[in-house]
């Protein structure tokens, strides 16, 4: 029987061992790589998550106050324009200083309509009424200032003084009691128009015209012409024309009128720049004593509609005419002053000049 014998050579055994070693080394490397991979993943999962920090750079802004240059400087504020009332008051004051009380009162009336409680306007109005000796109106105006109260300032104090002490009354002044000396026209040289010798102004005419008026007992207008001497230069701001009306009371006593008196220039400029006379119109108006005031008329109408309603008691002023006696127009005196010096005088009836002789000087 044959026996098969297998045998290997030494060279083949050595190659097998080398190949096996390489395989083992490669496997070990694979195992180590896998182990390193898994271990590193475990460490990363356990580490805290931190948001990335991003540095933000804010641009810096520098603020600098640059003064305006000379060319860019703001213009100065314009002074505030005077109000309409202030302008009217200034005009009235200037007109009163020139003796133009008619236009002065017109300006003040316009200002009063805009602001009825303006103490300065009321004060100037009261002074003008005093200058023309209309003391009823002046006292009424001073009382309006008192009603405003201490907020009227110096005007309130002046009103209190005027109403307490008063001003020289017509009776005191015109009866020759303390006051300016009276001019004796009998010893003074005057012309036929009553113009004093050496004067710069004279009275050319005084014409009285009565106008029929259903609402007035007397409505009379004086038209007065005042003319300068030839070649005389007149400062119209220094001219004063005074007009006084007189009444008889109960047909016996002569008193300065309490009627309404208004003035109006008929010539536009009245500056005596030309040789023509300047014309002034002065109106005397006395309402009928039996006329009802608007308040009384309304009350009477209400009483007629409602017979049970009594009309209110009449105001003290409504019975003034009856209490002081019945008045009737008597006449006038016109005086012209220049630089406060008497220039001319005219009266009708002329006996008024004996009762009330004019002062040679006018108060400034």
Distance CA 242, CA 337 (A): 8
According to the model, what pLDDT value does residue 170 have?
Answer: 43
Residue pair 253/325 in contact (Cβ under 8 Å)? The answer is: yes
According to the model, what pLDDT value does residue 174 have?
Answer: 41
Q: What angle do CA 234, 127, 337 make, to 5 degrees?
A: 25
Distance of CA 270 to CAs 91, 200, 232, 264, Å? 16, 15, 15, 11
According to the model, what pLDDT value does residue 17 have?
Answer: 80
pTM: predicted TM-score of the whole model, two decimal places:
0.46
Per-residue pLDDT tens listing for the chain (364 residues): 445 444 555 556 777 788 888 888 888 888 887 777 777 776 555 555 555 554 555 445 444 454 555 445 555 544 445 689 999 999 988 888 777 777 888 889 899 999 999 999 999 998 888 877 677 788 889 999 989 999 988 999 898 888 876 654 444 444 333 334 444 444 445 555 456 777 899 999 999 999 999 999 999 999 999 999 998 999 999 999 999 999 999 888 899 999 999 999 999 888 999 999 999 999 999 998 754 444 444 444 444 444 444 444 434 344 444 446 789 999 999 999 999 999 999 999 988 988 888 888 887 6
According to the model, what pLDDT value does residue 168 have?
Answer: 45
Q: What is the side-by-side strand order in the sheet with 239-249?
A: 253-256, 239-249, 327-338, 341-348
Distance CA 236, CA 230 (A): 16
According to the model, what pLDDT value does residue 302 have?
Answer: 47
For the chain, helix (H) and strand (E) counts, in that order, are 10, 8
According to the model, what pLDDT value does residue 47 have?
Answer: 53
Q: Is 88 exposed, middle or buried (0-12, 13-18, 19+ CB in 10 A)?
A: buried
CA-nearest of 90, 101, 171 to 129 is: 101
CA-nearest of 116, 157, 115, 122 to 137 is: 122
Q: What angle do helix axes 119-131 and 101-114 make, rounded to 10 degrees?
A: 160
Residue pair 122/112 in contact (Cβ under 8 Å)? The answer is: yes
According to the model, what pLDDT value does residue 10 have?
Answer: 55
Domains recognised in the chain with CATH numbers: 84-167 (1.25.40.10), 201-301+323-355 (2.60.40)
According to the model, what pLDDT value does residue 69 have?
Answer: 52
């Amino acid at each position: 029987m044959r026996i098969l014998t297998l045998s290997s050579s030494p060279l083949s055994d050595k190659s097998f061992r080398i190949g096996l070693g390489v395989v083992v080394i490669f496997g070990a490397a694979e195992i180590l790589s896998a182990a390193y991979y898994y271990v590193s993943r475990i460490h990363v999962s356990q580490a805290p998550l931190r948001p990335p920090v991003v540095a933000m750079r804010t641009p810096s802004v520098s603020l600098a106050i640059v003064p305006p240059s000379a060319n860019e400087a703001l213009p100065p504020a314009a002074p505030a324009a005077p109000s309409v009332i202030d302008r009217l008051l200034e005009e009235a004051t200037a007109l009163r200083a020139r003796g133009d009380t008619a236009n002065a009162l017109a300006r003040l009336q316009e200002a009063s309509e805009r602001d009825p409680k303006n103490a300065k306007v009321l004060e100037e109005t009261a002074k003008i009424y005093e200058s023309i000796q209309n003391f009823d109106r002046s006292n009424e105006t001073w009382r309006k200032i008192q009603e405003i109260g201490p907020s009227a300032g110096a005007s309130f104090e002046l009103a209190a003084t005027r109403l307490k002490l008063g001003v020289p009354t017509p009776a005191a002044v015109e009866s020759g009691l303390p006051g300016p000396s009276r001019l004796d026209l009998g010893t003074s040289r005057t012309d036929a128009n009553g113009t004093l010798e050496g004067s710069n102004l004279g009275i050319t005419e005084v014409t009285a015209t009565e106008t029929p008026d259903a609402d007035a007992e007397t409505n009379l207008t004086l038209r007065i012409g005042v003319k300068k001497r030839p070649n005389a230069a007149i400062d119209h701001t220094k001219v004063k024309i005074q007009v006084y009306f007189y009444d008889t009371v109960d047909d016996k006593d002569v008193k300065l009128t309490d009627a309404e008196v208004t003035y109006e220039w008929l010539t536009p400029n009245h500056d005596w720049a030309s040789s023509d006379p300047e014309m002034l119109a002065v109106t005397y108006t006395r309402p009928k004593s039996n006329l009802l005031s608007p308040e009384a008329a309304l009350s009477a109408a209400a009483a007629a509609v409602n017979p049970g309603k009594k009309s209110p008691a009449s105001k003290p002023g409504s019975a003034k005419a009856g209490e002081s006696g019945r008045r009737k127009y008597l006449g006038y005196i016109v005086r012209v002053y220049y630089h406060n010096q008497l220039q001319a005088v005219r009266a009708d009836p002329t006996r008024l000049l004996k009762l009330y002789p004019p002062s040679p000087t006018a108060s400034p």
